[in-house]
């Protein structure tokens, strides 16, 4: 195609196109020429395509480009919006776009295009991988996500004619992902629109009922709201403040969500309406709050200062709730004009308003950091990455402080571990405890606004699988999973090597005497890349060491005599590859036996554990002899039952005896019954070995309040 003249396509006379062209008056003539060329290219590429509504397909890219132009974005972004579907829905290639419109436009369009659906087994897998691709493009260029949000907005507006199940799926995806992204980028106006449209598609009847109720409430309260608005404006004028006061109505989805979360009826949602006060400067914001608190009584605990501590999306405002006439709660937000622009348009304010250049640039920096943090969560599993990002998009935040006074924003419900990983990955990996407001606290402690948090680390502490049930942020979850996977592979490989060597020795073969060629052939025959991968399969129970050993020896008849070791030595500190059974909690000194469980590695039980009796007789080949290998400094959990006289101070005496024997108490539970003469105390304590446990039990027997002691194993006691 050559240079496009205005008379080229007949669509130039389309009124919608003319309105779009009029909106481009902020661009240079060269940029407008490129946008016109992009329109012609897109119109021709989509010439034979129709939307579900029957309209020509070009109406969709034109609407998306119009929304982008409303944000006053640059010519490349507007052109990319017009072209955003040509790679996905036409025969056009990325090279074609780069040659015609430049590499920058081609990269934007490519970031907006879905991957080939035929590559994936399920829709969920395709959705997750497409989202990962979009996110990576977002991290390179923020314009990608703004065009994508405009695309999603127009798709929701034009769902007529689409299958109800597809409408619902797209709406749910919007609520889960795109509306939270809009909110995270500060696009609160767009977020509310996406939420309300999605709500109406998912629950059309509920939305209609709520809309009707809201209209009725609006009519009933109109006079009262006008009176309150006039009173607010009058009070601010009396204080010498120039302010714009206007009403703010809660969105349909916000009302519905509050009714669901709080389990209240529509009539009990009292904050349907509020007011925004826009003043000239930050000092005037605080002066306005003082004036309003003298007009109506403030509700204690409802004042929030997001100017001193902005939200993670750079939102700034003062919030307060007042008790108005007839006991009506009145929500008021006070902000400057600049803050109002950022609150409504978020990162788009950077392009929209020249007077917010500084705050817009700051928001772009924060957004870029957020996107980079999301990319750090990437793992091999797209679905897992997708879930991690969804977790990270929850908008409710708590603000906590480091010991040096730095403010950190975390999702509501975040714990000490989340904070540690937010500081640094190594701090998270080795966090052992924390001081919250100068007081020691466990890792599972949830953080609250204003907490000052100091992490205590220890070199021997590493992430545990239980941490995944504690953390709230996607970053922490991703880092923990990556560590556990890496450690499991390393530990499983080490365990597998020991299991295979033990099997070879029992067959009278010294592993070191086996030729390298035999090992290489074995690895290739098993379909593995390295010997370590094969060892890992053995350690995880995916392959039996006896089968692998015989397969190895079948190629090379080796019969080097060697002493046989009947038992595999374990320390109990190998990590995830060797797990101590929870049912019997073996400790050094106990006679033990091991079971290879597929995918879990070696599980260690006490030899007489009642839980495994049937399995040992039914599947004897899965059990191997193991023995303890001494290691200093390691402590093991063990459960004991202590029966004490039902009298005051008995628990304290028992706990004191355990401490005196050099053992820590991990947890304690009590079966208390005032009508009985005795109380059962169930302790989980830490001991080094069976001898240490015996010393603890001896110390307890000397306590006068103790009448009986037993070691607990799945409901059975050992006195």
Q: CA nearest 87: which of 97, 78, 79, 77?
A: 97
Residue 57's alpha-carbon distances to 23, 47, 60, 63, in angstroms, are 21, 8, 6, 11
Write the DSSP string, 189-255: HHHHHHHHHHHHHH-HHHHHHHHHHHHHHHHHHHHHHHHHHHHHHHHHHHTT---EEEEEEPPHHHH
Rounded Cα gap, residues 624 and 502, in angstroms:
10
Provide φ and ψ at 158, rounded to 5°: -125, 45
Residue identified by tokens 């907005």 is 153
CA angle (182, 69, 32) in 5-degree steps: 150
Rounded Cα gap, residues 390 and 477, in angstroms:
12
Annotated active-site positions, please?
88-89
Strands 318-323 and 297-298: antiparallel
For residue 523, how far is the Cα from the chain centroid? 38
Question: Long-range contacts for 509-512 (Cβ within 8 Å, ≥24 apart)?
Answer: 509/549, 509/553, 509/558, 509/559, 509/560, 509/562, 510/560, 510/562
What Rg do the C-alpha atoms of the chain give, in angstroms?
Answer: 33
Rounded Cα gap, residues 525 and 519, in angstroms:
10
Structural contact between residues 273 and 226, judged by C-beta atoms closer than 8 angstroms: no
DSSP single-letter state for residue 114: P
Rounded Cα gap, residues 243 and 285, in angstroms:
10
Residue identified by tokens 């919007």 is 174
CB atoms within 10 A of CB 513: 12
Provide φ and ψ at 627, rounded to 5°: -145, 160
Size of the chain in residues? 719
Rounded Cα gap, residues 271 and 273, in angstroms:
5
Rounded Cα gap, residues 427 and 105, in angstroms:
41
Write the DSSP string, 335-374: EEHHHHHHHHHGGGHHHH-GGGHHHHHHHHHHHHHHHHHH
Beta strand segments in 427-538, E: 431-436, 439-441, 453-457
Rounded Cα gap, residues 455 and 422, in angstroms:
11
The tokens describing 672, both together, are 């208390």
Burial class (CB in 10 A: 0-12, 13-18, 19+), 173: middle
Structural contact between residues 473 and 422, judged by C-beta atoms closer than 8 angstroms: yes
Structural contact between residues 601 and 575, judged by C-beta atoms closer than 8 angstroms: no
DSSP single-letter state for residue 4: P
Residue identified by tokens 């788009």 is 348
CB neighbour list of residue 300: distance below 8 Å, 6 or more residues apart: none
CB neighbour list of residue 254: distance below 8 Å, 6 or more residues apart: 192, 195
The tokens describing 411, both together, are 């999702």
């Amino acid at each position: 195609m050559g240079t496009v003249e205005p008379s080229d396509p007949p669509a130039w006379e389309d009124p919608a196109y003319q309105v779009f062209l009029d909106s481009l008056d902020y661009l240079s003539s060269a940029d407008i020429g490129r946008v016109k060329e992009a329109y012609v290219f897109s119109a021709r590429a989509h010439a034979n395509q129709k939307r579900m509504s029957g309209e020509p397909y070009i109406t969709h890219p034109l609407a998306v480009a119009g929304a982008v132009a409303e944000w006053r974005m640059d010519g490349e972004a507007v052109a990319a919006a017009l072209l955003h579907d040509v790679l996905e829905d036409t025969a056009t290639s990325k090279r074609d776009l780069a040659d015609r419109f430049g590499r920058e436009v081609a990269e934007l369009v490519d970031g907006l295009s879905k991957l080939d659906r035929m590559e994936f087994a399920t829709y969920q897998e395709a959705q997750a991988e497409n989202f990962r691709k979009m996110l990576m493009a977002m991290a390179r260029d923020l314009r990608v996500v703004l065009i994508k949000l405009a695309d999603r907005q127009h798709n929701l507006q034009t769902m007529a004619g689409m299958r109800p199940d597809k409408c619902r799926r797209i709406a749910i995806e919007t609520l889960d992902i795109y509306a939270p992204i809009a909110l995270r980028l500060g696009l609160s106006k767009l977020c509310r629109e996406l939420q309300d449209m999605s709500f109406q598609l998912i629950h059309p009847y509920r939305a209609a009922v709520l809309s009707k109720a809201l209209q009725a409430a609006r009519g009933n309260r109109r006079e009262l709201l006008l009176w309150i608005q006039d009173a607010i404006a009058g009070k601010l004028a009396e204080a010498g403040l120039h302010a714009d006061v206007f009403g703010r109505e809660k969105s349909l989805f916000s009302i519905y969500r509050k009714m669901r979360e709080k389990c209240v009826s529509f009539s009990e949602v009292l904050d349907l309406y509020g007011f925004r006060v826009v003043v000239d400067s930050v000092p005037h914001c605080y002066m306005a709050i003082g004036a309003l608190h003298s007009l109506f009584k403030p509700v204690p605990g409802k004042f929030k200062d997001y100017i001193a501590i902005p939200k993670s999306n750079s939102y700034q405002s003062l919030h307060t709730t007042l008790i108005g006439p007839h006991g009506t709660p009145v929500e008021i937000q006070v902000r400057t004009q600049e803050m109002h622009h950022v609150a409504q348009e978020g990162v788009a304010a950077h392009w929209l308003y020249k007077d917010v250049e500084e705050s817009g640039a700051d928001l772009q920096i924060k957004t870029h950091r957020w996107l980079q943090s999301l990319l750090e969560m990437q793992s091999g599993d797209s679905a897992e990455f997708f879930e991690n990002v969804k977790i990270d998009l929850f908008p409710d935040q708590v603000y906590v402080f480091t010991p040096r006074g730095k403010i950190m924003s975390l999702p509501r419900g975040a714990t000490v571990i989340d904070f540690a990983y937010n500081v640094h990955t190594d701090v998270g990996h080795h966090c052992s405890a924390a001081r919250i407001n100068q007081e020691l606290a466990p890792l599972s402690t949830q953080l609250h606004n204003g907490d000052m948090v100091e992490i205590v680390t220890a070199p021997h502490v590493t992430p545990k699988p239980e941490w995944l049930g504690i953390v709230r942020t996607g970053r922490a979850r991703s880092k923990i999973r990556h560590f556990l996977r890496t450690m499991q592979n390393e530990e499983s490989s080490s365990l597998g090597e020991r299991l295979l060597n033990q099997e070879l020795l029992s067959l009278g073969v010294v592993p070191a005497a086996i030729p390298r060629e035999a090992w290489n052939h074995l690895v290739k025959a098993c379909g593995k890349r390295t010997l370590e991968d094969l060892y890992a399969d053995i350690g995880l129970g995916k392959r039996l060491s006896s089968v692998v050993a015989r397969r190895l020896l079948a190629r090379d008849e080796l019969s080097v005599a060697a002493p046989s070791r009947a038992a595999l030595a374990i320390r109990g500190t190998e990590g995830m590859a060797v797990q101590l059974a929870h049912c019997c909690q073996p400790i050094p000194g106990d006679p033990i036996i091991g079971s290879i469980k597929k995918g879990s590695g070696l599980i260690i039980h006490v030899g007489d554990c009642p839980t495994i009796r049937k399995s040992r007789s039914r599947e004897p080949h899965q059990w191997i002899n193991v023995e303890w290998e001494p290691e200093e400094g390691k402590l093991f959990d063990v459960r004991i039952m202590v029966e004490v006289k039902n009298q005051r101070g008995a628990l304290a005496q028992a706990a004191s005896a355990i401490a005196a024997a050099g053992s820590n108490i991990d947890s304690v539970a009590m079966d208390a019954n005032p009508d009985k003469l005795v109380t059962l105390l169930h302790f989980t304590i830490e001991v080094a070995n069976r001898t240490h446990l015996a010393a603890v039990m001896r110390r307890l027997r000397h306590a006068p309040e103790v009448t009986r002691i037993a070691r607990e194993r799945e409901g059975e006691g050992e006195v």
